[in-house]
Chain A
């Protein structure tokens, strides 16, 4: 059992997302940084899409009533076990009675906490992701609160191996971390300032030449009203050549739409299924994890690539993750 002593700013159970019901208007939800999420699961021997905790900026305080093996990937929000700093992007073994808390956030915005076995959460419409507005999924359909109790599911064979191995090295201490961690190619340490790669959206041509130019020449700032549904950007306004009505149609993770007032919005994990604003661009899938680690108040810029490049980059990234998964498996065995 894992006791929630303090919930943190916004800590929710998420998995890969709720797919198959968007036609019913049910949003996809799911983790914001899919890469960190998948790797967190791999590090504790879970299947990649097991439910995890998505921790936002100010982390929770958790008390373990049993021995656990866990990993924390994504932003470095300064995790500490029994007051001692522990590393991210590696498996950890923690003994019963220990406490995990987070300090001052160092890099990134969200961390993913995976436990060996995954969190035992009943699936709603095929997903464990928390959909707060509908009150479904996750832990009772809401973010964690003080006093909540979470249970890990049964371990996989591989999880068991990790557990036994780390346990053997723990000795008398209350916890032990693996001596290795996932390299910089994946953990974006410091989260680079490279421009976010985008491709033209379906209504790209609706925008005047000046606005299209500004999209990639100017810097945008993530507004404080941003959330898991979307990043609201300020910096320079983009305007359509003419005011035309657009019929609502499907949008997706990373769609950049521009309402009439001209400030773009990047749609994220908790986006609605459909939208009626002109779509100037679309963030390449490979850059969504990096975007998800940016904090409100941060500035960044865009660079344009082709749709073809975006898809090739995606396939390459999947290849890299597959290799990494094999590497981790070797380490764990």
Chain B
């Protein structure tokens, strides 16, 4: 396992495990993140995992007051600590990843761009749905918005460019395609994605302090097709 450390400003350090999107590198990122959860050093404020990096935010004042001698820079001390931490990091076998099922009502008024995605790729709407459900999806990271997953593994046969005129409001729960990516919008936002369906599942629930987002980095996703009636029922039941 290769890694390097880089400062991000005067209160954070970035750990880089590679510079390309790969499941292997991302597994290392998830392993580092869960080890940080176990370690929880008192000088760490929080960390943000991404595709190939984990950025650790620390408290320089706490370190200067409790950990370092007079002239040692907190960053140098953190650098040493994190290096030691990484040298003992072990990557557990995969297979421990959760699979999260996300019910989706495809097409119709909840997925107004399904026909466009089909037409653009020379497929029927049914074929697009089929391919979207059969992808082998991995959540590489969460970013952009609370619980917004960066998902890899979509069938390139349904890849579709973003809309030229972005919509001002995309309802929360909308499932979309942008280029070779698929994603689910946790909040109502503007955006240029092609909208193919909507899930009744709550992607972000701030009242759940422990785990406010449905998806976490490292999760596998299984999209499951539901009818509009099932969508309405699940939506009501959930709220």
Question: Could you list which residues of chain A lie within 8 angstroms of chain B, going by C-beta atoms?
Answer: 19-27, 124-126, 133-134, 136, 199, 202, 247-255, 272-274, 282-285, 307-308, 310-312, 314-315, 318
Report if B120 contacts A (CB, 8 A).
Answer: no
Are the CB atoms of A308 and B143 closer together than 8 Å?
no
From B9, B57, B212, A21 is in contact (CB under 8 Å) with B212
From B75, B143, B144, B216, A307 is in contact (CB under 8 Å) with B75
A25 to B49 alpha-carbon distance, docked (Å):
10
CB neighbours of A312 from chain B (8 A): 73
Tell me how far the C-beta of A95 lies from the nearest C-beta in chain B, rounded to whole angstroms.
38
B40-48, B111-119, B154-162 - interface stretch: B40-48
Question: Could you list which residues of chain B lie within 8 angstroms of chain A, going by C-beta atoms?
Answer: 6-12, 14, 19-21, 33, 45-53, 55, 57, 60-61, 64, 73-75, 141-148, 150, 186-187, 189, 204, 206, 209, 212-213, 216-217
> Given contacts A125-B212, A282-B8, are A25 and B144 in contact (CB under 8 A)?
yes
Chain B: CB-nearest residue to A202: B6
CB neighbours of A26 from chain B (8 A): 146, 206, 212
CB neighbours of B213 from chain A (8 A): 24-25
Chain A: CB-nearest residue to B144: A272
Are the CB atoms of B148 and A25 closer together than 8 Å?
yes
From A126, A136, A274, A314, B10 is in contact (CB under 8 Å) with A314
Are the CB atoms of A252 and B148 closer together than 8 Å?
no
Tell me how far the C-beta of B137 lies from the nearest C-beta in chain A, rounded to whole angstroms.
17
Are the CB atoms of A24 and B8 closer together than 8 Å?
no
Are the CB atoms of B64 and A19 closer together than 8 Å?
no
Chain B: CB-nearest residue to A274: B143
Are the CB atoms of B50 and A248 closer together than 8 Å?
yes
Are the CB atoms of B47 and A25 closer together than 8 Å?
no
Are the CB atoms of B145 and A274 closer together than 8 Å?
no
CB neighbours of B12 from chain A (8 A): 250, 252
Chain B: CB-nearest residue to A126: B209
CB neighbours of A310 from chain B (8 A): 9-10
Are the CB atoms of A250 and B60 closer together than 8 Å?
no
A74 to B121 alpha-carbon distance, docked (Å):
56
A283 to B19 alpha-carbon distance, docked (Å):
25
Tell me how far the C-beta of B133 lies from the nearest C-beta in chain A, rounded to whole angstroms.
25
Chain A: CB-nearest residue to B18: A247
Chain A: CB-nearest residue to B11: A285
Chain A: CB-nearest residue to B208: A125
> Given contacts A133-B189, A134-B206, A311-B75, are A24 and B9 in contact (CB under 8 A)?
no
A233 to B50 alpha-carbon distance, docked (Å):
27
Pairs A–B under 8 Å by Cβ, sample size 27: A19-B45, A20-B46, A22-B48, A25-B144, A25-B186, A26-B146, A26-B206, A134-B187, A202-B6, A202-B14, A247-B20, A250-B50, A252-B8, A252-B57, A272-B143, A273-B143, A273-B144, A274-B48, A274-B143, A283-B9, A284-B10, A285-B10, A307-B75, A311-B10, A311-B73, A314-B10, A314-B60
Tell me how far the C-beta of A49 lies from the nearest C-beta in chain B, rounded to whole angstroms.
13
CB neighbours of B21 from chain A (8 A): 247
Are the CB atoms of A125 and B142 closer together than 8 Å?
no
Are the CB atoms of B46 and A23 closer together than 8 Å?
yes
Tell me how far the C-beta of B167 lies from the nearest C-beta in chain A, rounded to whole angstroms.
16
Tell me how far the C-beta of B212 lies from the nearest C-beta in chain A, rounded to whole angstroms.
6
CB neighbours of A274 from chain B (8 A): 48, 50, 141, 143-144
